[in-house]
Structure 1
């Protein structure tokens, strides 16, 4: 927008300056030519006064420019010059201005007792254009200066408009990323300030709705737990053991489904969290290393030296790491080695968990399925955590023929 405004102002200013400066330049040249011709005419008339007197030669010498007097008898006084058609025309009693090689000639006729004399004053082109080029150069510099000044003012004006708009865009991106504390600073033109205030009002309203949703989720949790507890007590009071076990299983399944729905609702209504992925992975690997040592598994861990922030909460990332490592322990024989690697990525961090087990089947990657090769529900947990941060999950074979899971986590 700044560039387009600058181009618009440059074009407009250039057109206005051309419309003003070109006529002014022509006027300056005309004024210079008129001045030179007027001075030549005055000089010629001062000599014409002395025609027919003995002081004519003195008058010619006193003029500081080339002057020629064509006498009626064919003689001349002063600078040598050819008797042109314009001179012959002036000899008829008319004052003439004519073009001549290298300039112009001013011809003034004067009457003497012998006849009509013609006074010729030559005006060179250099005198006609004296000071004109300097004036044109000054006008050109003035025009360029005005164009540059207009562009600078347009850029400052555009900056006053685009800077608040850029701020609004950054705030909207932060809000879209889950940062509900982001607020715009009202500034710029009144219309932009109105948009900033409206965006802040929208952000506050979204925050209020999310708070209300979290309260509703908490209330929903209390409301559903009570009837589930009653159903469980009713199931335990049944006399038929098989019927009691069947109803108890249904109650357990319903409770898991309700818990899953409440957890998902809390996750959606919660603000976007972040954590240090290196610290979380290091802590979870240390937890699982005890079991790995008992089973004789060799664990290779590669972590960055410094912190590696990601757009996932610490508890959620820990659950994902536990799910991936738990799959390895659950679906590979004891003694199978495994590797955990966490390294920086251009968009955040890349967590890789691989083993030397029997591998996996692609059909086993659906949610809720399990099978050989570290697949099953744990992959879905890790996938959802990665996608919630803006990343993703891919599964492939490791270099040892086992399973490899790559979890891409975006930065906050």
Structure 2
């Protein structure tokens, strides 16, 4: 933007200077020519009274005594003074006409002197081109220097104005990017023209409004703890009342897991920023598969687990990856009949795959809030937000294959 403003000011200044300085330069040249011609004409006119009264023998001394070369053409055709050829302008002056005419290398001024008994005497002087343009080059250089100085001043002023505008716009862009990065406390300082100050105020108002709305949403989600605590307590009491101690312990552990998940959800909702850090993807996947394997055994499902044989750090919080695993495995149990096997694979490049041999993906799967199978339709969206990318496909046997990328893809050619 600064460059465009500088180009605009330069173009405008050059147009103004051309429109102003070119006519002025032409006028200066014309004034210099007129000044030289007027000075020469006045000098020749000063010799006219003497030429009209001086005898022929003294006209030569009259011509040599002038301040510039003067040629005197006598009525008998002879020439005294500075030597010069007889030109058409001299012929006209011999008839009593005084004039200024263009000649090679300058201008000639001829004056016809009448009233002498022997006829008309013609006085001629010549003004060379150097005298006609004397001082013009210096004046043009001064005008050019003035034009360059005006352009530079205009560029300096334009750059200062552009810097002010660009600084305000850059700050607005920086604040908008910070807001896009979930830094909701970012605010812009109103500065610059009134329009930019209005934009800064609107951006600050929008950021404040977003912050208020998110705060209200987090508080509404946090209220779930009070609504879920009573049924969870009742469910724990019923689990403890079971006659079989092993069954009671298993159901109680499941209730505790649900309560921990709800508590984690509430804490995540109340955080103003996403959870930082990462985790060992292999450990988290192994733990969640082990948790779901108990239910898989009860429902007659065969579980195939293929994990990377070492720790696999990924830039995903452990609770987020666990929630993604629970969502993907929960979909397998919810949308496939009992006895349907499934497989979980984690490759060294951070690709997590959950595949089953069920009826496949229902229509609308993958869209947030769209399930087509009677569920909330949020499970795949939870998994998508935990990784870099989520892909849905159909396996060789017609079952669903969900692939979640946990690590960024390497650049091409590496």
Q: TM-score under structure 2 normalisation? A: 0.67
Mean alpha-carbon deviation: is it higher for 89-98 or for 263-272?
263-272
Q: Is the 8 A contact 1:68 1:77 kept in 2?
A: yes
Q: Retained in 2: the 8 A contact 1:186–1:192?
A: yes
38-47 or 313-322, which deviates more: 313-322
The superposition leaves residues 159-201 of structure 1 with CA deviations (integer Å, 9 ceiling, x where unpaired) of 2123212321232233233221211122222332343233223
Q: Secondary structure at the match of 1:275?
A: coil
Residues 43, 121 of structure 1: 8 Å contact kept:
no
Give the corresponding residue for 2:352. 353
Distance 1:381 1:340, change over 3 A: farther
Q: Deviations along 1:278-304, whole A, 9 cap, x unmatched?
A: x5437647979999xxx9988546889
Residue number in structure 1 paired with 2:71: 68
CA deviation profile, 1:347-389 (whole Å, cap 9, x unmatched): xxxx32369999996779957xxxxxxxxx9x98575344477
The residue aligned with 2:348 is 341
Post-superposition offset of 1:100: 1.6
Picking from 103, 111, 114, the partner of 1:100 is 103
Structure-1 separation of matches of 2:209 and 2:351: 40
Does 1:215 pair with 2:219? yes
Cα pair distance change 1:386/1:271, threshold 3 Å: farther
Cα pair 1:386 1:409 within 8 Å, conserved = no
Alpha-carbon offset, residue 56 of structure 1: 3.4
What is the alpha-carbon root mean square deviation over aligned residues?
4.9
* Alignment correspondent of 2:112: 109
Alignment-derived partner of residue 241 in structure 1: none
Distance 1:88 1:212, change over 3 A: same
2:391 to 380, 390, 394: 394
Judged with a 3 Å threshold, the aligned counterparts in structure 2 of structure 1 residues 29 and 10 are, in CA distance, closer, same or farther, namely same
Give the drift of 1:11: 3.5
Q: Contact conserved, 1:289 with 1:299, CA < 8 A, in 2?
A: no
Q: Which runs of 5+ in 2 are unaligned?
A: 240-250, 292-302, 333-338, 367-374, 396-400, 410-414
Secondary structure, in 3 states, of the residue corresponding to 2:76?
A: coil
Q: Which residue of 2 aligns with 1:348?
A: none
Matching of residue 180 in structure 1 with residue 184 in structure 2 = yes
Count the aligned residue pairs: 363
> TM-score when scaled to structure 1?
0.67
Tell me how far 1:46 sits from its aligned partner: 4.3
What are the Cα deviations for residues 216-264 of structure 1, in whole angstroms up to 9, with x where unaligned? 33234313543x369869999xxxxxxxxxxxx9xx99xx8xx88x987
Q: CA deviation at 1:97?
A: 0.7
